[in-house]
């Protein structure tokens, strides 16, 4: 491969991202390296994707093994890895059936289409309203951005899909005023709003939403693209609340770094999808689903999931120490290894994340004022301690202390 530079990124790629000022070249566990050989502690986990870190040997083996067997054959055939992964997901969740997509956004697109079609067939075409929440994020298809609760992602892309309304998150009264038996086909929510700023739904709210959906014959869709796959210490976050959705979407950690999404549903809903009603060329492909099977095997073990909260406690301890020293966080929130630290002074967000990179630790942002850490779920104690030592140095530069 010929040598390319960060400047070539701006020359050859469309400008929808503003990547760091280097080219990332390799990763191992929770560390990665740039093209100048500099090493970074990774608290971003590929945006909550690399659940077992970079290049986990068992994931690499699963990929290699499948690469020598069958990569892609189309959905005219079924393959062992897709069936096995679907069986794992069904046996460990509320769902009876799975549809595989290639991303979280696609999984949500499929969920929203399924919900609309379900309501159309069971109740008629008037029941098409989708209720979502302000500040939510569900992906980048036109349907997803319209359903998502952030206007900036749909401005200028209209005409947008219709009959979509929004309520304030954690405000049951507002939802009550919008939902109706005649019109509402589905309510979609993230159990913890991720991109919006790591804002957990209250237990009362989640239970109330379920009840309102039941009373109004509306489907409840949990978007667990970010909260799912062990991130909060349960396989899926809904399992903390004893509230089951009708449809759930998963992606990110499911593939541990390979592109895959899943939309899961109970039989009464899933049975609406008949041959030809929905589909994708690459969904269910054996390469992605075989990696998904290995990712599932590694993550869905009680010891592994329990350890997520042990690591999360260490993160929180470090955040508390940083706050004691710099008095910079208004609140540190989240569940498990989905942690957001809201800054008192949001104008410092960019400065802090850039200085973190300078010091060799990669942290993400969420919303306009939150530092987000969503590392690999198997991040080691040494990596956590080293990452926070670098984070501390970054804050000492920013605050001049």
Residues 223-262, interacting with ligand PLP (CB under 6 A): 223, 225-226, 251
Least distance between ligand PLP and beta carbon 77 (Å)? 25
What lies within 8 Å, CB to CB, of 82 at 6+ separation is: 100, 284, 285, 286, 289
- Count of residues in contact with ligand PLP, rule CB under 6 A: 14
Residue 238 per-residue DSSP state: G
Work out how close the CB of 173 gets to ligand PLP at its nearest, in angstroms, rounded to a whole number.
24
Binding-site annotation: residue ranges: 137, 140, 223-226, 280-281
Query: In whole angstroms, how close is the CB of 135 to ligand PLP at the nearest point?
Result: 11
φ/ψ of 273, rounded to 5, equals -75, 105
Q: CA 156 to CA 149: how far, in whole Å?
A: 15
Q: How far apart are CA 108 and CA 23, in angstroms?
A: 31
CA 52 to chain centre: 15
Of 85-93, 97-105, 269-277, 287-295, the segment contacting ligand PLP by CB under 6 A is 97-105
**What order do you get walking across the sheet with 129-133 strand by strand?**
97-101, 261-265, 247-250, 219-223, 184-189, 129-133, 164-167
N-to-C CA span, the chain: 44
Q: In the stretch 198-227, what mask flags binding to ligand PLP with x, by CB under 6 A?
A: -------------------------x-xx-
- Residue number, nearest CB to ligand PLP: 104
Return the range that interacts with ligand PLP (CB under 6 A); candidates 99-107, 269-277, 290-298, 350-358.
99-107
- Residues comprising the binding site for N(2)-acetyl-L-ornithine? 140, 280
Total H helices, total E strands in the chain: 13, 17
**Could you tell me which residues are annotated as the binding site for pyridoxal 5'-phosphate?**
137, 223-226, 281
Q: Which is nearer to ligand PLP, 116 or 372 (CB)?
A: 372
Among 141, 115, 344, 369, which Cα is nearest to 261's? 141
CB of residue 295 to ligand PLP, shortest distance in Å: 15
Give how far Cα 325 sits from Cα of 260, 334, 395, Å. Answer: 41, 21, 9
- The first and second tokens of residue 268, run together, are 């009464």
Tokens 């590694």, located at residue: 298
Judged by beta carbon, residue 81 or residue 104, the one nearer ligand PLP is 104
194 interacts with ligand PLP by CB under 6 A: yes
Which range of residues in 25-33, 77-85, 102-110, 348-356 is near ligand PLP by CB under 6 A?
102-110
Piece of the chain touching ligand PLP by CB under 6 A; list 37-45, 131-139, 157-165, 348-356: 131-139
| 3-class SS of residue 299 | helix
135 near ligand PLP, judged by CB under 6 A: no
> Quick check: 27 binds ligand PLP (CB under 6 A)?
no
Binding site for ligand PLP (CB under 6 A): 103-105, 108, 137-139, 190, 194-195, 223, 225-226, 251
């Amino acid at each position: 491969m010929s040598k390319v530079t960060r400047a070539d990124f701006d020359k050859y790629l469309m400008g929808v991202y503003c990547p760091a000022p280097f080219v990332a070249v390799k990763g191992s566990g929770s560390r990665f390296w740039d093209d100048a050989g500099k090493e970074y502690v990774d608290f971003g986990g590929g945006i909550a994707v690399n659940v077992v870190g970079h290049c986990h040997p068992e994931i690499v083996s699963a990929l290699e093994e499948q690469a020598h067997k069958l990569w892609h054959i189309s959905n005219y055939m079924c393959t062992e890895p897709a069936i096995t992964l679907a069986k794992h997901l069904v046996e460990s969740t509320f769902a009876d059936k799975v549809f595989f997509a290639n991303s979280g956004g696609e999984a949500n697109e499929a969920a929203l289409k399924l919900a609309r079609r379900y309501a159309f067939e069971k109740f008629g075409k008037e029941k098409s309203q989708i209720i979502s929440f302000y500040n939510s994020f569900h992906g980048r298809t036109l349907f997803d951005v319209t359903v998502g609760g952030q206007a900036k992602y749909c401005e200028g892309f209209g005409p947008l899909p219709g009959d979509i309304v929004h309520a304030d998150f954690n405000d049951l009264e507002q939802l009550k005023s919008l939902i109706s038996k005649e019109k509402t086909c589905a309510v979609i929510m993230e159990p913890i709003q991720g991109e919006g700023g790591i804002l957990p739904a209250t237990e009362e709210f989640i239970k109330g939403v379920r009840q309102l959906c039941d009373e109004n014959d509306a489907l409840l869709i949990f978007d667990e693209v970010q909260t799912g796959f062990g991130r909060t210490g349960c396989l899926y976050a809904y399992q903390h609340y004893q509230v089951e959705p009708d449809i759930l979407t998963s992606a990110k950690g499911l593939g541990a770094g390979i592109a895959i999404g899943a939309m899961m549903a109970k039989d009464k809903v899933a049975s609406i999808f008949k041959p030809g009603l929905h589909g994708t060329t690459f969904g269910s492909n054996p390469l992605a689903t075989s990696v998904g099977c290995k990712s599932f095997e590694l993550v869905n073990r009680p010891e592994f999931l329990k350890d997520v909260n042990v690591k999360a406690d260490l993160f929180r301890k470090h955040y508390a120490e940083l706050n004691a020293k710099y008095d910079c966080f208004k609140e540190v929130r989240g569940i498990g290894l989905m942690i957001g630290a809201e800054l008192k002074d949001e104008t410092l967000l960019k400065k802090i994340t850039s200085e973190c990179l300078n010091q060799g630790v990669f942290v993400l942002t969420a919303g306009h004022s939150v530092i987000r850490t969503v590392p690999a779920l198997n991040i080691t104690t040494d990596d956590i301690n080293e990452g926070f030592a670098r984070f501390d140095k970054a804050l000492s530069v920013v605050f001049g202390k």
